[in-house]
Structure 1
Amino acid sequence: MKKTLFILSTLVLLSACDKEPQATKPQPASVQATLVPEILPTDKWVGQWIGVEGLNLTVSKDESIGRGHYLLTMQYGLDADAAGTFKGVATEDGISFTRPDGPQLLRAGDGTTTGLKWLSDKKDCLVVNTGEGYCRQ
């Protein structure tokens, strides 16, 4: 009797191990929509930003490419050739883009993080590097 019970329990265990794992089902669209935010944090940056000594930045969505892509029109230096429009892509840290002086990252900050005393009292700013920042008026 014990021997029969042992054989039956062994067969039950082996048959359970023989089954293939079930593939995970994709989540319904309503659940997937909640996982990806409808508005990216960088979408709130769209508009005009003012720097010092004539520097400025305009962030606009690049609708031709799609979500998370931007056009950055900027005067980033005092010389006339330090201006242009650059394609940017949203990242976890901000908007990455490349201009003639190399790859850059536009990130949120305040007047203090710009490193510019004329902007130090501002709260809503975008910063490329210390000494290059743009704030909302």
Structure 2
Amino acid sequence: MNRAFLSSTACIALALLVTACGDRHASTEPVGAQGSAGTAAVPVTDQWLGKWTGPEGTFLQLTGVDGKYEITIQNLDGPRSFQGSAAGHAVVFERDGQKESLRATNGAETGMKWLSEKTNCLTVRAGEGYCRD
């Protein structure tokens, strides 16, 4: 056989071997779609953990982890707690038989004049919002 043919065949075989040895388990998911141990990504709503204040001594306290939360809402009647869970870019919970949704907004979107200048807020519904400074 001719030497050029053998050299070309060896190069093609090497290229195929290198390709075949690639990571067969490479993920096609976007970067950050999984945690370090193959667990689901941390929900964006986990960034909302902590205390959020409203007017006249009202507040919302969000505790929990991995999309499962306890929501404590202090209004003028006193504190009440609810179980909630992440649903995309919101936390959903039930209060008095009504499905509620907690979402990130600015102060103007809370519908409350006392919070209108704030930029980092959570709103349950128009007229019920809580912000961080």
Q: TM-score, normalised by structure 1?
A: 0.67
Q: Is the strand fraction higher in 1 or 2? A: 2
Matched, 1:134 2:130: yes
Take 2:59 and 2:26, find their aligned partners in 1: how far apart are those partners? 41
Residue type of the partner of 1:128? V
Q: Is the 8 A contact 2:45 2:89 kept in 1?
A: no
Instruction: Mark the runs of 5 or more structure 2 residues left unpaired by the alignment.
Output: 1-23, 35-39
2:70 match: 71
2:83 match: 87
Take 2:26 and 2:43, find their aligned partners in 1: how far apart are those partners? 19
Take 1:94 and 1:56, find their aligned partners in 2: how far apart are those partners? 18
Matched, 1:111 2:91: no
Give how far 1:35 is off. Answer: 3.0
SS of the aligned residue for 1:35 comes to coil
Tell me the C-alpha RMSD between the 2 structures. Answer: 2.2
1:21 match: none
Take 2:47 and 2:127, find their aligned partners in 1: how far apart are those partners? 23
Q: Is the 8 A contact 2:33 2:41 kept in 1?
A: no
Q: TM-score, normalised by structure 2?
A: 0.69
The match for 1:123 among 111, 119, 126 is 119
